[in-house]
Chain A
């Protein structure tokens, strides 16, 4: 072999070229998250994304244009009962193209579901995906239907917060 090193160089060039072709084929995930889990965790610890139903009632009575209420339940439940002036973005299709204008705008969107758990999960999903100005209505549609539509507004104020301990621990222990 007269010039063996040319063959080796050629081989290495071929390998690098193949590698470059692979780079261009590297498919990015279509629905990639924009925020890392750790960043989202920090936001959750701050817990500033909850909106209590009494403030929400004020917003609706004042017809504040900056807020939209977004119902994430399925269309049947939406037709059955929804908070007035709310729009319906079913959560199964929350990432679809047709709902992007509902979520990608400058207004403040308040998500709600039957309780607050599903709304909170969808809030997590959409915030990590990159949408902004999202809030979660505490208590959800159930609390709203039972308490906010009547004139008698000031009973059971703390029950819309899912994370408040409702039982007296000392009472439980004393029953031993």
Chain B
């Protein structure tokens, strides 16, 4: 059966069209999960709403299981699937900045576009702010260049760095996710804020 859609066999335009359709699906899924509400998103950090955790982990688990099973059936070739390069310091610092922005603004970059699409003004300001941040980063890049490229670990997969196979890592992630879901539910009961939970 071979790879489902080998990328070099379809034209550039079809490639972009498929990406566009997948994007439509993504936006639809985010909106259905309620992610255009900043109160729901910030609830992850205050403890009264763990929808973010559930959505992200179930998405990761679905994709991971899908890839593992399809690799076994020969429908996808895992050895040619692209794995991002890993720059450790950039990942940590960027993560801290994004986390701070998430709590303060109540959106993350993807959901802010989602919310702006349905007309929320604070989401539009959020997008404007992120664009200004990108511009500043680009203009002052020589200052950050060394930090940006530090600790380049290549296309590292978590399974390779721990030393287990992909399947066992999948089991570990699923076990961790299930534990986190249960703990999160307990936290929800403890930190609940009726005034917000009744509105979102």
Report if A and B touch in the complex (beta carbons < 8 A).
Answer: yes
- Give the total number of A-B pairs whose CB atoms are below 8 A apart: 11
The interface residues of chain A lying within 8 Å CB-to-CB of B73 are 19, 22-23, 26
The interface residues of chain B lying within 8 Å CB-to-CB of A25 are 1
Select from chain A the residue with minimum beta-carbon distance to B74.
A26
The interface residues of chain B lying within 8 Å CB-to-CB of A27 are 1
**Interface status of B171 (Cβ within 8 A of chain A):** no
Tell me the complex Cα distance, A27–B73, Å: 10
A34–chain B nearest beta-carbon distance, Å:
18
Select from chain B the residue with minimum beta-carbon distance to A28.
B74
Give the interface size class of chain B.
under 10
Tell me the complex Cα distance, A26–B69, Å: 13
Tell me the complex Cα distance, A22–B69, Å: 11
Tell me the complex Cα distance, A23–B75, Å: 10
Against A, the Cβ 8 Å flags (1 = close, 0 = not) of B67-79 are: 0010001110000
Against A, the Cβ 8 Å flags (1 = close, 0 = not) of B1-36 are: 100000000000000000000000000000000000
Tell me the complex Cα distance, A27–B1, Å: 6
Select from chain B the residue with minimum beta-carbon distance to A25.
B1
The interface residues of chain A lying within 8 Å CB-to-CB of B74 are 26
Select from chain B the residue with minimum beta-carbon distance to A27.
B1
The interface residues of chain B lying within 8 Å CB-to-CB of A19 are 69, 73
Select from chain B the residue with minimum beta-carbon distance to A19.
B69
Which residues 16-32 of A have a CB within 8 angstroms of B?
A: 19, 22-23, 25-27
The interface residues of chain A lying within 8 Å CB-to-CB of B1 are 22, 25-27
The residues of A with any CB-CB pair to B shorter than 8 Å are 19, 22-23, 25-27
Nearest 6 CB-CB pairs, A to B?
Answer: A26-B74, A22-B73, A23-B73, A26-B1, A26-B73, A19-B69
The residues of B with any CB-CB pair to A shorter than 8 Å are 1, 69, 73-75
Extra A-B contacts (8), CB below 8 Å, given A19-B73, A22-B1, A23-B73: A19-B69, A22-B73, A22-B75, A25-B1, A26-B1, A26-B73, A26-B74, A27-B1
What are 11 contact pairs spanning A and B, CB under 8 A?
A19-B69, A19-B73, A22-B1, A22-B73, A22-B75, A23-B73, A25-B1, A26-B1, A26-B73, A26-B74, A27-B1
